[in-house]
């Protein structure tokens, strides 16, 4: 009987090997069948005898015909179960890798573009309507409404969740709410570029929290990467022309909150079968419920009404479009970033996040004509370069853990 089938290089055609379409092979302990230059050898082992029912393209009989795969079909002796194996050819594998690379590139380009647009409109709104708590709440409310409509009309499939899912999501939502509001408070008080320069120091908080609270250790290269990160952020801060302590502390608190958000997310969401898009939708909804009472307590409807009236008087109807745009683009860029996590590694995501900050910093300086000194640019460059070094050093740490 055939107890195993190993794929090797082709030396004959299927017609030369099989005299009929179906044949029962007797007590054969081992049978060599051709291999189509696949990177890994495949080994199929069965305890029952096999009867070969068909074999297609084993030797690529016609060289002029291109085939994407080799199909081998067989039945166990009692014919109770059909066995089928598809072997991809190298050219098909190359096409898959090219398609994956293209998909990731589209994700990154979309993510960066949406984030730049959000930051521009968010800053425009905050310049004439300095209510960061309400602005943050509207962003989460808009995203939640968009996803509820998508689920209702069938554009996206609603996630299947239970009580445990929402329990594990709650600390993530708390940290997300704090980080979101803190970042918005920062941008309401300082330039967009300065906020993102300080937020590029997030890896330093990640190492600190992981070391103190989780007991994780990192290679020396990761610790050394903190020097340019901290030094660059400090240089950019002390040379900032329009430095504001509230804006600076807002960016720092945002860094810390988002680090805890990532830690809670990794620890609590293991084994949960929810897509990145739906995960962020649920996170937005829960964060919205957490944020609403605090926004009312800190700012209040009366202040919002007065500020809204003033903004409309200054800008006109375009102000409504600014608010809608910053809310919509906030949800879209975060949704795309979470969707990209389903397709790429955390390291690639980290590098992409670093490049995103560069695009936001440069575009905001150009659009808002932010006055900036050469030494301030140097500090930003050093901090971002340190973030890149952190990504590369942390790559080795993750590989060693595996």
Longest dimension (CA), the chain: 91
Residues 86-103: tens digit of each pLDDT: 555 567 777 777 877 787
Residues 169-183: tens digit of each pLDDT: 999 999 999 999 999
- Which residues are bridge partners to 7 per DSSP? 33
pLDDT at residue 1 greater than cutoff 50:
no
236 or 18, which is more confident? 236
Can you give the pLDDT at residue 161? 86
The gap from C-alpha 374 to its chain's centroid, in whole angstroms, comes to: 33
- Of 267, 387, 287, whose CA–CA distance to 330 is shortest? 287
Could you give the angle at the alpha carbon of 284 between the alpha carbons of 283 and 285, nearest 5°? 95
**Strand, coil or helix: 83:** strand
Can you give the pLDDT at residue 58? 46
CA-to-CA dists, residue 198 to 180, 190, 260, angstroms: 15, 11, 17
Q: Is residue 390 within 8 Å of residue 229, measured between CB atoms?
A: yes
**pLDDT classification of 207: cutoffs 50, 70, 90:** confident
Burial class (CB in 10 A: 0-12, 13-18, 19+), 102: exposed
pLDDT at residue 51 greater than cutoff 60:
no
Strand arrangement, sheet containing 23-24: 23-24, 50-56, 69-76, 82-88
Question: Which residues, other chains included, contact 375 with Cβ-Cβ below 8 Å and sequence gap of 6+?
Answer: 235, 239
Mean pLDDT over all residues of the chain? 77
> What distance in Å separates the CA atoms of residue 402 and residue 400, rounded to the nearest whole number?
5
Can you give the pLDDT at residue 57? 47
Residue 290: count other Cβ atoms within 10 Å of its Cβ: 16
Q: Across residues 28-32, what is the average pLDDT?
A: 46
> What distance in Å separates the CA atoms of residue 394 and residue 373, rounded to the nearest whole number?
32
pLDDT at residue 187 greater than cutoff 60:
yes
> What distance in Å separates the CA atoms of residue 26 and residue 5, rounded to the nearest whole number?
14
Residues 110-120: tens digit of each pLDDT: 888 899 999 99
Q: Over pLDDT 90: what percentage of the chain?
A: 31
- Of 341, 356, 400, 386, whose CA–CA distance to 203 is shortest? 386
Question: Which residues, other chains included, contact 153 with Cβ-Cβ below 8 Å and sequence gap of 6+?
Answer: none
DSSP string, 167-197: HHHHHHHHHHHHHHHHHHHHHHHS-HHHHHH
- Which residues are bridge partners to 252 per DSSP? none
pTM assigned to the model: 0.70
Question: Which residues, other chains included, contact 121 with Cβ-Cβ below 8 Å and sequence gap of 6+?
Answer: 322, 325, 326, 329
> What distance in Å separates the CA atoms of residue 188 and residue 131, rounded to the nearest whole number?
8
Can you give the pLDDT at residue 23? 44
> What distance in Å separates the CA atoms of residue 12 and residue 35, rounded to the nearest whole number?
11
Q: Are strands 23-24 and 50-56 parallel, antiparallel or unpaired?
A: antiparallel
Can you give the pLDDT at residue 73? 53
Residues 310-363: tens digit of each pLDDT: 999 999 999 999 999 999 999 998 888 877 766 666 556 666 777 788 788 888
């Amino acid at each position: 009987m055939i107890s195993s089938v190993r794929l090797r290089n082709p030396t004959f055609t299927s017609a030369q090997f099989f005299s009929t379409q179906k044949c029962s092979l007797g007590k054969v302990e081992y049978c060599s069948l051709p291999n189509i230059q696949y990177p890994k050898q495949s080994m199929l082992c069965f305890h029952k005898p096999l009867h070969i029912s068909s074999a297609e393209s084993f030797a690529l009989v016609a060289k002029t015909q291109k085939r994407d795969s080799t199909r081998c079909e067989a039945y166990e002796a009692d014919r109770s179960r059909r066995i089928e194996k598809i072997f991809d050819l190298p050219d098909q594998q190359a096409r898959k890798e090219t398609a994956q690379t293209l998909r990731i590139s589209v994700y990154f380009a979309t993510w960066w573009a949406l984030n730049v647009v959000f930051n521009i409109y968010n800053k425009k709104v905050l310049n004439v309507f300095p209510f960061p708590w309400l602005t943050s709440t509207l962003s989460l409310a808009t995203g939640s409404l968009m996803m509820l409509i998508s689920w209702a009309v069938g554009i996206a499939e609603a996630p299947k969740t239970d009580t445990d899912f929402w329990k594990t999501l709650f600390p993530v939502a708390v940290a997300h709410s704090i980080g979101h509001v803190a970042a918005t408070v920062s941008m309401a008080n300082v330039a967009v570029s300065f906020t993102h320069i300080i937020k590029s120091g997030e890896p330093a908080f990640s190492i600190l929290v992981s070391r103190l609270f989780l007991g994780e250790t990192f290679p020396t290269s990761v610790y050394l990467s903190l020097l340019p990160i901290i030094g660059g952020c400090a240089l950019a801060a002390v040379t900032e022309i329009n430095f504001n302590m509230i804006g600076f502390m807002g960016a720092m608190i945002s860094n810390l909150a988002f680090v805890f958000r990532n830690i809670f997310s990794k620890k609590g969401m293991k084994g949960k079968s929810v897509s990145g898009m739906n995960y962020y939708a649920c996170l937005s909804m829960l964060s919205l419920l957490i944020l609403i009472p605090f926004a009312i307590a800190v700012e209040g409807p009366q202040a919002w009404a007065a500020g809204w009236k003033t903004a409309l008087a200054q800008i006109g109807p375009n102000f409504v479009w600014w608010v809608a745009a910053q809310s919509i683009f906030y949800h879209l860029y975060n949704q795309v970033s979470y969707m990209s996590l389903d397709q790429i590694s955390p390291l690639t995501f980290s590098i992409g996040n670093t490049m995103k900050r560069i695009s936001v910093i440069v575009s905001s300086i150009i659009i808002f004509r932010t006055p900036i000194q050469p030494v301030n640019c140097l500090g930003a460059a050093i901090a971002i370069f340190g973030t890149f070094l952190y990504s590369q050093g942390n790559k080795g740490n993750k590989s060693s853990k595996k």
